[in-house]
């Protein structure tokens, strides 16, 4: 079964082709319109389409997608493998629904914490198949841009793979506060949750995750850049 997955986030419009839990192809769209989607669908067999979007999608695009193949638009009413009896599912964004689903499909017999480093940093904690809780904090670019935008003299810095714990200049101070701040936040959440459950599986995903994977070596963390695609494909089959 070939599933065409669309993930429209705050920063990027992404797509992937998933067949039998294997990512066949993926990419980024420049804009939300049917013409750009038609180009990447040429000569492709599609069994189903799933759309996860945190932005407004034109109704004409929805109708056009339905003409291509059966479409499921992910929402709080979608059927899920994760049990939300202990959490208000209506308040959870569709991006987090997909990530939680991908984690549950990947580790169905384990308790797990999925950490997505994207526009925002999100934490999803699932225990015995139940969504127990989570957290949201500003993401990497949101932190760097806000310090620049809301001050008169602080520069806009670019993320770097190598960053200090503490800096010796304004730029390195910003880099330390942003990069090391995120790293310490992530490590803190992991450490605290492992006090509650020493065997919890930690999964890291999201576009900014590669900045921190080397610093998290030795923390027994599973890095899975395809977690959201696994979740979306699973949700498409379930719905």
Same domain, 181 and 99: yes
pLDDT single digits (tens) 181-217: 999 999 999 999 999 999 999 999 999 999 999 999 9
Question: Does the residue 190 lie in any domain?
Answer: yes
| pLDDT bracket for residue 126 (50, 70, 90) | very high
Residues 51 and 95 in one domain: no
**155 in a structural domain:** no
Lowest mean pLDDT among 16-25, 83-92, 207-216: 16-25
- Catalytic residue selected from 56, 95, 162, 224: 95
Domain count along the chain: 2
Higher pLDDT among residues 195 and 45, named by residue: 195
Identify any residues that bridge with 221 across adjacent strands, giving them in sequence order. 202
Q: Does 230 map to a domain?
A: yes
**155: DSSP letter:** P
Residues 110 and 173 in one domain: yes
- Whether the CB-CB separation of 147 and 154 falls below 8 Å is answered with yes
Residue-averaged pLDDT of the chain: 94
In terms of domains, do 204 and 115 share one?
Answer: yes
Residue 62 shares a structural domain with residue 102: no
Residue found by looking up tokens 């082709």 in the block: 17
Binding residues: 7-14, 84, 93-96, 119, 170
Tokens of 56: 């407004």
Distance CA 228, CA 233 (A): 9
The answer to whether residues 228 and 193 belong to one domain is yes
The answer on 98 and 21 residing in a single domain is: no
Annotated binding-site residue numbers for substrate: 84, 93-96, 170
| 188 part of a folded domain | yes
Q: Which domain holds residue 65?
A: 2-73
The model's confidence at residue 84, banded by pLDDT at 50, 70 and 90, is: very high
Q: How far apart are the first and last CA of the chain?
A: 14
Same domain? 125 vs 31: no
pLDDT band at 168 (very low <50, low <70, confident <90, very high): very high
Where residue 68 sits, what CATH number does that domain have?
3.30.420.40
Percent of the chain past pLDDT 70, that is, above it, reads 100
CB 32 within 8 A of CB 58: yes
Q: In what order do the strands lie in the sheet with 130-138?
A: 130-138, 120-127, 112-117, 201-205, 221-223
Asked if 122 and 217 sit in the same domain, the reply is yes
| pLDDT number for residue 194 | 97
Q: What is the per-residue pLDDT for 139?
A: 97
Q: How do residues 22-32 score in pLDDT, each as one tens digit?
A: 999 999 988 77
Structural domain contains residue 82: no
Do residue 60 and residue 129 come from a single domain?
no
Give me the phi and psi of 112, to 5 degrees please. -150, 150
Residues 111 and 196 in one domain: yes
41 and 65 co-located in one domain: yes
The last residue of a domain, from among 73, 108, 130: 73
**Beta strand segments in 36-160, E:** 48-53, 71-73, 112-117, 120-127, 130-138
Residues 101-119: tens digit of each pLDDT: 999 999 999 999 999 999 9
Nearest partner of 155 among 175, 173, 171, 138, judged by Cα: 171
**Three-state DSSP string of 48-69:** EEEEEECCCCCHHHHHHHHHHC
95 is catalytic: yes
Which among 118, 123, 117 is positioned nearest to 136, based on CA atoms? 123
What is this structure's pTM?
Answer: 0.92
Residue 32 lies in a domain: yes
């Amino acid at each position: 079964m070939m599933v065409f997955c669309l993930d429209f986030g705050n920063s990027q419009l992404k797509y992937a082709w998933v067949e039998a839990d294997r990512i066949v192809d993926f990419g980024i769209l420049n804009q939300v319109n049917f013409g750009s989607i038609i180009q990447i669908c040429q000569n492709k067999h599609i069994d189903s389409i799933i759309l996860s979007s945190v932005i407004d999608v034109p109704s004409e695009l929805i109708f056009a997608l339905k003409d291509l193949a059966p479409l499921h638009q992910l929402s709080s009413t979608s059927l899920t493998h994760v049990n939300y009896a202990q959490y208000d599912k209506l308040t959870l964004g569709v991006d987090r629904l997909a990530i939680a689903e991908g984690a549950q499909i990947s580790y169905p017999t384990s308790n797990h914490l999925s950490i997505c480093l994207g526009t925002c940093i999100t934490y999803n904690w699932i225990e015995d198949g139940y969504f127990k809780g989570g957290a949201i904090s500003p993401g990497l670019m949101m932190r760097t841009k806000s310090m620049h935008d809301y001050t008169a003299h602080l520069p806009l810095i670019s993320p770097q793979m190598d960053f200090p714990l503490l800096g010796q200049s304004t730029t390195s101070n910003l880099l330390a506060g942003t990069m090391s701040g995120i790293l310490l936040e992530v490590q803190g959440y992991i450490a605290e949750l492992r006090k509650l459950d020493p065997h919890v599986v930690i999964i890291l995903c999201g576009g900014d995750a590669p900045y921190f994977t080397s610093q998290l070596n030795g923390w027994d963390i599973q890095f899975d850049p395809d977690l959201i695609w696994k979740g979306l494909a699973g949700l498409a089959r379930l719905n």
